[in-house]
Amino acid sequence: MAAWLRPVACEYKSANDFRLLASCRQMHNQAHTIPSMATRNFKTAIARNISRLTGHTEPFLLGCIERPKLRSHGEFSIPIPKLIKTPLATGERIVKKPVDLSKELAEKFPQDPLIRTATPQGAFLNFSVHPVEFIRQVVTQVHTECDGYGMHPSLGRGRTCVVDYSSPNIAKPFHAGHLRSTILGNFVSKVHEACGWKVIGINYLGDWGKQYGLLAVGFDKYGDQAKLEQDPIHHLYEVYIRINKEAETDKEIDVKAKEYFKRMEEGDETALSTWRHFRTLSIASYTPLYTRLNIRFDVYTGESETDAHIPRIQDLLAHHNLAITDPADGAVHVDLDRWDLGKPVIRRADGTSLYVTRDLASLAMRRERWAFDRAVYVVGHEQERYLKQVFRIAGLLWGGEREEEEREIKRRRIEEKKHVGEEEMEPDNHWTEDLVHVSFGRIHGMSTRKGNVVFLRDILDTARETMLEIMRGNEEKFEEIMEVGTDANTGEGKEGASAQGETTARLTGEAAVEQIADVVGASAVVVQDMQGRRAKDYDFSWERMTDAIGDTGVYLQYAHARICG
């Protein structure tokens, strides 16, 4: 079975992937200029017939064909004004009103074995295909191309994209925003890989700041080493909640937390070793949970790693005369008023950095390490203005490198185009012009039957338990699964691990049942999120998510099993 049909694997490589990633505009648009063989056949039939009726060339008409905004308008559409504005090959022009020409072409469009109807819709001419023939051609192409179906490796060949997603805070809840970021970020990564990009998946942890001083103080008072080793994420969260509540009435705790974090910033090895221990255990705890979603990151990094690059950012800001000191409070800001982005502060009066400074430092670090061509941030829509500020400042800081880098890029691309063909490659952009924010709406009402969900493990465990209850409802099938068993990956899910290198083991009995329930439950979580419109909020529903009927992960797994059978 082709990999893109395996819902558990979360490969997301079908042609429909591109519609779901409108934020990656250039790749999205370019991908549609390389249609599937089936789509190309139907477009050619439209172009051939319209060419005979108008005198326009087939190549020109192929470039005019687009997809209607509404599904009810058919599969393809031609905006008639393009046919009127563009001269014919003879130099003549069509002198008619768009609405009249649309009606005339619809009436004269001949019978065709591929095209069912041609319908005028104002200034557009819409086309519906013969569905059986379209399905036949698509399925034939899928069978022929197998795992390569829907992939366009030439689009991003020789280019690198870093994708920043998931990014939970250590010792804080893995909230619904992190879940959406995780699912969508994995999707963004897979689509880029399908288009030939080298992808670096980054989990940028919230692992720095005064709260870690607070956590260290709390652990000295309430920490339990055995609990920490057994379940670091939950135990650190319990400690953090407890010490944070105590700090509300005891101001001395806040003072101690600031002092501890200052020691961390100054490189005190005792303070840093405790922080490193918390961080290492947390990553080790998160990794197998991501593996349950079949997600692996190339790099776990965080705010803590940006310190070495912050002085460079401060120097660049000064060099470009962008750092403006406020005489009132001594804070330093960048004036972005001309872009309606305000005056973001980049350094406090006491000299300490802020999020914007650290994010700019992170960009510098990633550019130095991977020389990326595109950086994608999968973050909630509430961060839209902030990321616009970061991207704008990045353009002001590094845009001056553009001419020199563009000469090198142009040379490299000319060599590549000898082998690929210019029409199959994305347009060149300086990396500061390809900083992309893939935003998303919020999830409302995500809670277990026992209370609020605060961690990824809670979400996945609840989904698994729900599926187990449903499976136990059919005793005959339940016993059959226990006897027949199932295969399971034995990979450890380590940082940077590849799914291709994993082996499988045969499970039977309760282990097999739990494995299947876990896989189907994870699919239910992923598919429910994909069903919601990315930019919109949606209500989380365990009942709808685990329903075996309808567009759910459970039904998708069922359909996949039927196809394989």
Higher model confidence: residue 450 or residue 498?
Answer: 450
Query: Quick one: pLDDT at residue 493?
Result: 41
Query: Quick one: pLDDT at residue 86?
Result: 94
DSSP state letters, 104-147? HHHHHPPP-SSEEEEEEETTEEEEEE-HHHHHHHHHHHHHHHGG
- Percent of residues, the chain, with pLDDT higher than 70: 84
Token output for 389: 């500020």
Residue 48 maps to a domain: yes
Query: Quick one: pLDDT at residue 353?
Result: 77
Query: What contacts 216, CB < 8 A, 6 or more positions away?
Result: 257, 260, 271, 274, 275
- Do 431 and 372 touch, CB atoms closer than 8 A? yes
Residue 37: phi and psi, rounded to 5, are -60, -40
pLDDT surpassing 90 at residue 261: no
Q: Give the mean pLDDT of 268-283.
A: 88
Token output for 523: 């699919």
Query: Quick one: pLDDT at residue 10?
Result: 35
- Cα dist from 82 to 114, 123, 290, 329, whole Å: 24, 10, 49, 58
pLDDT in tens, 214-260: 899 999 999 999 998 888 888 988 898 899 899 989 989 988 988 88
pLDDT surpassing 80 at residue 13: no
Q: What is the pTM of this model?
A: 0.77
* Residues 69 and 188 grouped into a single domain: no
In which band, very low, low, confident or very high, does the pLDDT at 47 lie, cut at 50, 70 and 90? very high
pLDDT in tens, 465-497: 988 888 888 888 888 888 887 887 755 444 444
Residue 1 maps to a domain: no
In which band, very low, low, confident or very high, does the pLDDT at 22 lie, cut at 50, 70 and 90? very low
Query: Quick one: pLDDT at residue 87?
Result: 94
Query: Quick one: pLDDT at residue 15?
Result: 34
Residue 387: phi and psi, rounded to 5, are -70, -30
Query: Quick one: pLDDT at residue 121?
Result: 94
* Residues 141 and 125 grouped into a single domain: yes
Query: Quick one: pLDDT at residue 508?
Result: 81
Query: Quick one: pLDDT at residue 453?
Result: 55
* Residues 384 and 503 grouped into a single domain: no
Mean pLDDT, all residues of the chain: 82
CATH code, domain with 175: 3.40.50.620
**Residue finishing a domain among 389, 408, 435:** 435
* Residues 247 and 369 grouped into a single domain: yes
* Residues 132 and 178 grouped into a single domain: no
Across 221-225, 233-237, 270-274, 428-432, least confident range:
428-432
Token output for 151: 């992939």
pLDDT surpassing 60 at residue 422: no
In which band, very low, low, confident or very high, does the pLDDT at 408 lie, cut at 50, 70 and 90? low
pLDDT in tens, 154-209: 888 899 999 999 988 877 767 767 888 999 999 999 999 999 999 999 999 888 87
Query: Quick one: pLDDT at residue 190?
Result: 94
Query: Quick one: pLDDT at residue 543?
Result: 79
Across 42-46, 129-133, 441-445, 488-492, least confident range:
488-492
**Residue finishing a domain among 376, 400, 435:** 435
Strand spans (E) along 310-442: 324-325, 332-333, 345-347, 374-378, 435-438
In which band, very low, low, confident or very high, does the pLDDT at 502 lie, cut at 50, 70 and 90? low
Query: What contacts 520, CB < 8 A, 6 or more positions away?
Result: 467, 553, 554, 557
Q: Give the mean pLDDT of 146-150.
A: 84
Token output for 129: 């295909």
Query: Quick one: pLDDT at residue 206?
Result: 83
Exposed/middle/buried for residue 351 (C-beta within 10 Å: 0-12, 13-18, 19+): exposed
For the chain, count helices (H), then strands (E). Answer: 21, 17
pLDDT surpassing 70 at residue 68: yes
* Residues 116 and 218 grouped into a single domain: no
pLDDT in tens, 342-397: 999 988 887 777 889 999 999 999 999 999 999 999 999 999 999 999 999 999 99
What one-character DSSP code corresponds to residue 81? H
Angstrom distance (rounded) from CA 539 to CA 528: 10
Query: Quick one: pLDDT at residue 494?
Result: 41
Residue 505 maps to a domain: yes
**Residue finishing a domain among 400, 435, 470:** 435
In which band, very low, low, confident or very high, does the pLDDT at 447 lie, cut at 50, 70 and 90? low
Residue 10 maps to a domain: no
Domain that residue 556 falls in: 443-564
Site of tokens 């108008």: 54
Angstrom distance (rounded) from CA 187 to CA 382: 21
pLDDT surpassing 60 at residue 6: no
* Residues 406 and 456 grouped into a single domain: no
Total domain count for the chain?
A: 3
Site of tokens 């893109």: 4
Q: Which amino acids are annotated catalytic?
A: 172, 175, 178
Across 1-15, 394-408, 431-445, 501-515, least confident range:
1-15
Question: Can you tell me whether residue 486 is helix, strand or coil?
Answer: strand
Q: Tell me, what amino acid is at 355?
A: Y
Query: Quick one: pLDDT at residue 73?
Result: 93
In which band, very low, low, confident or very high, does the pLDDT at 21 lie, cut at 50, 70 and 90? very low
Q: Give the mean pLDDT of 282-303.
A: 88
* Residues 515 and 422 grouped into a single domain: no
Q: Minimal CA–CA distance to 546: which of 481, 460, 476?
A: 460
In which band, very low, low, confident or very high, does the pLDDT at 288 lie, cut at 50, 70 and 90? confident
Helix (H) / strand (E) containing 489: strand 486-489
DSSP state letters, 414-479? HHHHHHH-GGGSPPP--GGG-EEEE----EE--EETTEE--SHHHHHHHHHHHHHHHHHTSHHHHH
Q: Tell me, what amino acid is at 176?
A: A
* Residues 463 and 399 grouped into a single domain: no
Angstrom distance (rounded) from CA 290 to CA 493: 8
Across 115-129, 210-224, 449-463, 532-546, least confident range:
449-463
- Do 197 and 265 touch, CB atoms closer than 8 A? no
Residue 175 maps to a domain: yes
pLDDT surpassing 70 at residue 446: no
* Residues 495 and 379 grouped into a single domain: no
Query: What contacts 368, CB < 8 A, 6 or more positions away?
Result: none
pLDDT surpassing 80 at residue 332: yes
Residue 540 maps to a domain: yes
* Residues 291 and 393 grouped into a single domain: yes
Residue 245 maps to a domain: yes
Site of tokens 């309760």: 510
CATH code, domain with 77: 3.30.1360.70
Residue 28 maps to a domain: no
Across 3-17, 260-274, 436-450, least confident range:
3-17
* Residues 449 and 351 grouped into a single domain: no
